[in-house]
Amino acid sequence: MLGINLVWAVALLYIALLFMVAYYADLRQKAGRSITANPVVYSLSIAVYATTWTYYGSVGKAATTGLDFLPIYLGPTLTAFSWWFLLKKIVRISKENNITSIADFISSRYGRSQWLGAIITVITLMGIMPYIALQLRAVSTSFTIITGYHDFHLGILEYFHLPSPHPGFFSALLLALFSVLFGARHLVSAERHEGMVAAIALESIVKLAAMLIVGGFITYGLYDGMGDLFARLHERDPALLTRLTTLGGSGDNSYSSMFSLLTLSMSAVMLLPRQFQVMVLENAREEHLNSAAWRFPAYMFLMNLFVMPIAVAGILMTGSSAGADYFVLTLPIRAGHPWLALVAFLGGFSASAGMVMVESIAVSTMLLNHVLMPAVVKITPRNWFPVLLINLKRFGIILVILLGYLYQGMVGESYLLANMGLISFSAAVQFAPALIGGLYWRRGNKAGAIAGLLLGFAVWSYTLLFPSLMQAGHWHSDILTVGPWGLALLKPQALFGLTGLDPWTHALFWSMFLNISAYLSLSIICNQGEKEQEQATRFVKVFAPESESPQWETKRLSKPVTIVQFVNLMSKFIGEQQASAAISDYLGDREIDGKGGVSEFELPSLKRFVEKTLAGSLGGAAAGAVVESFLSDIGSKMESVYDIFSTVRTSRDQSREALFVRLRASEIMNRSLRLDIIMEDLLALLLREFKLDLCVIRLLNDQGVLQVRSFKGEGGERITAEDRILEVDTHVGEAFLGRRTEFFNDTTYIVKPIAKEIFQREGIKSFAHVPISSEGSPPVGILSVFSRSIVGLFTEQFVELLESLAGQLAQAVRIVSEREAREGERRQKEAAQLENARVTRDLELAKQIQLSLLPESAPQLAGVRIACRCTPATHVGGDYYDFFQRGNDQLDLVMADVSGHSVGAALIMVETRSVLRAQMQTTMSTRETLRVLNELLYDDLTRAELFITMFCCTYDGAHRTLSYANAGHTRPLLFRAGSWRELDADGLILGVKQEVLFEEKSVQLESGDLLFLYTDGIIEAENAERELFGEERLCAIVSGMLEGEPESVIDRIMAEVAAFCCPAPLQDDISMVVMKLL
């Protein structure tokens, strides 16, 4: 015996440790660095399968009936072979559907049936009672054994004279408190409870360690190993050893019970609510299954290694198998090692606490989601819902444990621990047909599942639960021995005369026979509903590659729902914070339109997401009902999309019809180059192929208005008559500016007032405005289609087709407009060429006129020979020379150059000529002529920003003198007897200053002299190397020709300059006057 306070202290310390571990795991989960998301912890958490049944009960079973304790652990090892495909599939489906429990899983598979969920919950609640009871009894009994007190006893309690509670009551309270604290802190049950998982993983380590320590001590400390134990028993009672270690012919520990127990445990390890919870819902990654598949069986092996030795040792030590259930505790005490007993007690406490915690949480989730929730969702959601729900869940946990307590109280000590557990296993196995069938058989339906479960449950209650209560002696009746109303055929433990089997095999056979038969036959006889079919496909084909699933939605919401509305709905159930987090997770990088909503085609997917999120806390069936009632409240519902092509609605590829329409459209585009014909034909095609009533094409014109260019169909005078300016007030404008198809599947919900009024008058039910634009470029117009008869005409598929047709039309519009643009450009170019030719002709004319203004030939004067020439570089130029003869002897000679060779220069030259001619009427000196000329021309030159250089001279034939003045002109050259000199006189260029004084000089000429006047075009002529012709080259040429005729000198110089510049033409006008004295 150990002191009660010591046991209490150790137990409390242990619980505190568990809390700390759980708290730490929760912290790590929040920080995103999970400690439980690894295969070892996962495997340890699955070991919650080993409860006090394993810990205490196995020894009891081994000591009383023998080897049939083993199949309970061999079965799970065998199922490990199926995890790779079976469990993996269940895990995948659960993650994709936010499954919260096994009831949720099965009911989701059968069309989210609330009935099915409720039935499974009730079966579980009833079925799990014996199992919980077994844990409570084990805890309270073990406490009694090591302390000598009934149940968990506190010294304080002795001061109150309370009526002594039934044994196990305090254990129940303690475990309930423990479970509520660990498991019901958050509402969302679909997310992993890392704190809980960490705690059960630690408990698994503790119970295994305790078992190994106690077993090792007994086997090797008290005895000499396993061989020794068996040898001693053989010596003492060979018959007993044989009975315990071989299988008999009938009853317990037979071949048939071996088979039943294997089957029961194989199903139980996956179907018990807590196993489903830890294996499926708490699974972090699918790969963990691989390693858990061998770690978990290995754990089971170690756990059971010393069971048989302890049992044999117990029989040897106590002389019988009485109280064998607690050999693990009593043997160390008997051997005088109370501390070892304390270790064993802790191990047993761990085994039961872990089981009760997970089991009660899992069952209370089911209870909340499938029994309470259907009632709760009938009430309009309120803000205090989350609080209500979490408290309901806590209540569920306590209820589950209290039911177990109740059962324990009724059944008392009449059953072995292991046999109580087997009753629960037999209940859990009822789920197998509906679950396995639902995973692999698409025809399996709701009717079959419900009927099978109900029949199986009825048989289980009648053949196992009921007898267990009867045997406890609460009712004194002979039903067990003679059957109800004396009908021997209906004896609970020999139903329909089937005898010779142990109770488990008997119950398993009849319940499974009826369950499976009902499931199969009703599944074949009845049909599945549409929702059920959809779910069945999702479950059975969960591993099917994406490409096989249909691409198009086949449902639409009759009235669009905004994201905000959905978020509000979700926050009522799971709290605002979680709702916003979930929705932003979902939206991610999805496109959101201007109104803060998703596209209409996204809505069904958003609705599914909301259902899935809610399913995480309410269960699939309730979540479905909540969303459904929410939709009907706002006047929306799911309805089938209008099947525009009526053939292929679920295929991934486009339907043949869509391809046909595309083909016809491109034919139309290619057949004609006239846009109006193309548009006409395209609209005709649309009207013919789809059930449309009116189609309109508007194109953007030069004024930025969408102008109606073509329309077809009936009515719609206002629609077809009005052009639309680009404003977001109209749907057309919005489509154009937003570059996105605007469509309304139901004009009842339209908000724009003008559009609403028009559509009401025209009776239009649905419409779409599709921007006419090719990939990436701005739209050029809008294609609008209207229907008066069909609501919900615009499916994703149809809109895509319309968009592609609009794209083709955009190409055609672009081609036509490009062609028009090319045409225009060509015409413009022609006009420009024409204009150019006219100007050229005019300039040519001007050149002729200008040349004709120069003296036609040089004047005849005795004693001199004169030649002159002007060669303009362009059509008109600024060079000028003139002669004025006075009498027989005197000749005035002028040479000028207006800067530039534009038309302006030419005009100035003409003006200069007129002024000069007027001035030359009066006899003046050359310097006076230049001064007057400068004064007269100054204003005009300044305005035109031009200058004139001018050389002016007077030759007196009688005295052979030449007097001259120069206004900045290139200095003339005078050649005399092989040498030459420049005639220089100071003077400013004309047009720079108003008042200028010019110097006048004179020179005496002799016979043979040659005077050469020229413009700078000669010496500034450039060759290809940008070298100037220069004065020297000029002088050299002229010096060599002093004997020649003036005309030939000019010819020669022209030829030389042209040759010098070749191949370029002359850059500047060239003028020359040559005067030779005879």
Partner 1 sequence: MKRRLKEVVIRRLKLKDTWVICFALGLVMMNYPFISIFNKSTLPFGIPLLYLYLLIGWVFSIFIVYLFSRAAGHESESGGEP
309 vs 381, which CB is nearer to partner 1? 309
Among 57, 60, 71, 273, binds partner 1 (CB under 8 A): 71
Query: For residues 211 and 618, which CB has a smaller minimum distance to partner 1 in the complex?
Result: 211
* Smallest gap from residue 77 Cβ to partner 1 (A): 6
Please, what is the minimum distance in Å from the beta carbon of residue 69 to partner 1? 11
Among 228, 534, 796, 1051, binds partner 1 (CB under 8 A): 228
Say whether residue 308 binds partner 1 (CB under 8 A). Answer: yes
Q: Which of 1, 12, 20, 255 binds partner 1 (CB under 8 A)?
A: 255
In the complex with partner 1, which residue's Cβ is closer, 308 or 983? Answer: 308
**Joined tokens for residue 450:** 């419900």
Among 10, 181, 231, 1035, binds partner 1 (CB under 8 A): 231
Residue 56 C-beta: closest distance to partner 1, Å: 20
At residue 498, the 3 state secondary structure works out as: coil
> Quick check: 970 and 1015 in contact, CB under 8 A?
yes
User: Do 995 and 1034 meet the contact criterion of CB atoms below 8 Å apart?
Assistant: no
Contacts (Cβ under 8 Å, ≥6 apart) of 116? 103, 106, 107, 110, 446, 449, 450, 453, 621
Smallest gap from residue 215 Cβ to partner 1 (A): 14
Of positions 22, 70, 418, 1073, contacts partner 1 by CB under 8 A: 70
Q: How far is the CB of 330 from partner 1 (least distance, A)?
A: 23
Phi, psi of 656 (to 5 degrees): -60, -35
Cα 223 to Cα 330, 340, 580: the distances in Å are 16, 16, 64
H or E segment to which residue 410 belongs:
helix 385-411
Site for partner 1 in 631-690 (CB under 8 A): none
Return the H-helix or E-strand segment holding 953: strand 948-956
Which one, 32 or 227, has the nearer CB to partner 1? 227
Interior/surface letters 401-426, b for 16+ CB within 10 angstroms, e for the rest: bbbbbebbbebeeebbbbbbbbbbbb
Task: Give the residue with the Cβ less far from partner 1, 309 or 713.
Answer: 309
**Site membership for partner 1, residue 259 (CB under 8 A):** yes
Per CB under 8 A, 226 contacts partner 1: yes
Q: Residue 542 Cβ, how far from partner 1 at the closest point, in Å? A: 15
Instruction: Give the residue with the Cβ less far from partner 1, 71 or 354.
Output: 71
Instruction: Give the binding range for partner 1 (CB under 8 A) out of 255-263, 390-398, 866-874, 1003-1011.
Output: 255-263
Selection from 682, 692, 683 nearest residue 644 by Cα: 692
When the beta carbons of 227 and 588 are compared against partner 1, the nearer one is 227
| Dihedral, CA of residue 413, residue 415, residue 419 and residue 424, to nearest 10 | -70
Within 1008-1067, which residues bind partner 1 (CB under 8 A)?
none
Q: How far is the CB of 770 from partner 1 (least distance, A)?
A: 46
User: Minimal distance in Å, beta carbon 700 to partner 1?
Assistant: 56
Residue with Cβ nearer partner 1 (115 or 230): 230
* Interface with partner 1 in residues 126-155 (CB under 8 A): none
Helix axes 417-428, 255-271, angle to 10 degrees: 70
Q: Does 294 bind partner 1 (CB under 8 A)?
A: yes
Which one of 9, 13, 148, 287 is in contact with partner 1 (CB under 8 A)? 287
Among residues 17, 27, 81, 440, the one that binds partner 1 under rule CB under 8 A: 81
DSSP per residue, 668-727: HHHH-S-HHHHHHHHHHHHHHHS--SEEEEEEE-TTSEEEEEEEEES--HHHHH--EES-
Q: Tally Cβ neighbours within 10 Å of residue 460.
A: 25
Q: Select the span of 233-241, 328-336, 377-385, 849-857 touching partner 1 (CB under 8 A).
A: 233-241
User: Contact region for partner 1 (CB under 8 A) — 10-18, 236-244, 580-588, 995-1003?
Assistant: 236-244
**Lookup: tokens for 624:** 């479905």
For residues 1057 and 1070, give the distance between their C-alpha atoms in angstroms, rounded to a whole number. Answer: 10
Greatest CA span in the chain, whole angstroms?
A: 178
What is the phi/psi pair of residue 470, to 5°? -60, -45
What the block records as the tokens of 959 is 């005295």
Neighbour-count burial of 264, counting CB atoms closer than 10 A to its CB (0-12 exposed, 13-18 middle, 19+ buried): buried
Among candidate residues 332, 359, 361, 334, the one with its CA nearest the CA of residue 347: 332
Interface with partner 1, residue 316, by CB under 8 A = no
Q: How far apart are the first and last CA of the chain?
A: 163
Shortest distance in whole angstroms from residue 297 CB to partner 1: 5
> Of 59, 80, 563, 579, which lies in the binding site for partner 1, with binding defined by CB under 8 A?
80
Cβ distance to partner 1 smaller for residue 295 or 337 = 295
Q: Check binding of 298 to partner 1 (CB under 8 A).
A: yes
- Least Å from the CB of residue 594 to partner 1: 46
Q: Is 670 exposed, middle or buried (0-12, 13-18, 19+ CB in 10 A)?
A: exposed
316 Cα distance to chain centroid: 69
Task: By CB under 8 A, tell whether 544 contacts partner 1.
Answer: no
- Residue closer to partner 1 by CB (options 238, 635) is 238
Residue 246 in the binding site for partner 1 (CB under 8 A): yes
Amino acid in position 540: V
77 binds partner 1 (CB under 8 A): yes
CA distance 585 to 1020: 82
84 binds partner 1 (CB under 8 A): yes
92 binds partner 1 (CB under 8 A): no
Binding segment for partner 1 (CB under 8 A), chosen from 82-90, 415-423, 989-997, 1012-1020, is 82-90
| For partner 1, the closer CB: 297 or 991 | 297
Residues in contact with partner 1, counted by CB under 8 A, come to a total of 39
Work out whether 230 is an interface residue with partner 1 (CB under 8 A).
yes
Q: Which residues pair with 968 in a beta bridge?
A: 950
Cβ burial of 101 (10 Å; 0-12, 13-18, 19+) is: buried
Stretch that binds partner 1, among 224-232, 502-510, 676-684, 849-857 (CB under 8 A): 224-232
Applying CB under 8 A, the span of 286-294, 455-463, 590-598, 690-698 interacting with partner 1 comes to 286-294
Report the nearest approach of partner 1 to the CB of residue 533 (Å): 26
| Among the residue ranges 205-213, 257-265, 384-392, 709-717, the one whose residues contact partner 1 (CB under 8 A) | 257-265
862 burial type by CB count under 10 A (0-12 exposed, 13-18 middle, 19+ buried): exposed
One-letter amino acid at 366 equals M
Whether the bond between 1063 and the residue before it is cis, its omega within 30 degrees of 0, is yes
Query: Can residue 76 be called a binding residue for partner 1 (CB under 8 A)?
Result: no
250 lines the binding site for partner 1 (CB under 8 A): no
Q: Which is nearer to partner 1, 74 or 699 (CB)?
A: 74
Chain centroid offset of residue 838 CA: 66
Whose Cβ is closer to partner 1: residue 81's or residue 749's? Answer: 81
Is residue 23 a contact residue for partner 1 (CB under 8 A)?
no
Among 245, 471, 533, 1039, contact with partner 1 (rule: CB under 8 A)? 245
939 counts as binding partner 1 under rule CB under 8 A: no
Alpha helices (H) along 101-253: 102-109, 114-147, 169-183, 194-216, 226-236, 238-245
**Chain centroid to CA 611: how far?**
19
Q: Find all residues with CB under 8 Å of 86, minimum gap 6, and list them.
A: 79, 270, 436, 439
Residues numbered 973 to 1002 that lie near partner 1 (CB under 8 A) are none
Amino acid in position 1007: S
Residues at the site binding partner 1, with contacts judged by CB under 8 A: 67, 70-71, 74, 77-82, 84-85, 226-228, 230-231, 234, 238, 241-242, 245-247, 255-256, 258-259, 262, 287, 290-291, 293-294, 297-298, 301, 305, 308
